[in-house]
Amino acid sequence: MNNILRINTISALLCLLTLCGCSIFDLKNPEPPLVGVKTEDPLNIGDILSVATESSANMDYSDYFVNNVVFEYAHFQKINGKGDLINMLNRLRTQTSLVEWQPERAKTRFEGNLQIVENMPYTVYSGGRVICAGLADFHIVREPDWMISYWKDVPDGGYAPFFEP
């Protein structure tokens, strides 16, 4: 009788702990939530690097650019450094935009450590409609990693630039 009472007490205690959310069954050192998960890239910035055969598709936006990247557009001041560029990319991503790049139509050539990409067509969609389109030029540094060091936006007539000024 004493053993039955102990078994019932232990069973009741385990049930109570489980129902109350006790963490005795949780892993002691769980992995961070995004380990090994491919970063979502609705702006398809990885497609720019598709001209670079050894680039990785599993990157954050900051991994695509060198620290001193230059972004150029005729109607607003040059952006030097990736902080502002990453902020503009993230702002565009929050607008549920989708970018379609056409790297197969771009002209590419090599100059030393640079792969120069000219006239890559792009189209930016938001809400199912085209909000901007044009051509872009890029300089891609090949070593130590394939990263963008220069980006020039040349929007088609009648369309806004890739980023809002």
Which pLDDT band, with edges at 50, 70 and 90, does 47 fall under? confident
19 located within any domain: no
CATH classification of the domain holding 67: 3.10.450.50
pLDDT tens per residue across span 86-144: 888 888 888 777 889 999 999 999 999 999 999 999 998 888 888 889 999 999 998 77
Between strands 114-126 and 129-141, the pairing is: antiparallel
pTM: 0.68
98 located within any domain: yes
Look up the domain containing 118 and give its range.
45-155
Q: Residue 115: which residues within 8 A CB-CB, separation 6 or more?
A: 51, 52, 108, 109, 139, 140, 142, 146
Q: Is it the case that residue 35 has pLDDT exceeding 60?
A: no
The distance in angstroms from the start CA to the end CA of the chain is 81
If phi > 0 it is left, if psi is from -120 to 50 it is alpha, else beta; for residue 22 that is: beta
103 located within any domain: yes
49-53, 54-58, 61-65, 156-160: the lowest-pLDDT one: 54-58
Number of domain units in the chain: 1
160 located within any domain: no
162 located within any domain: no
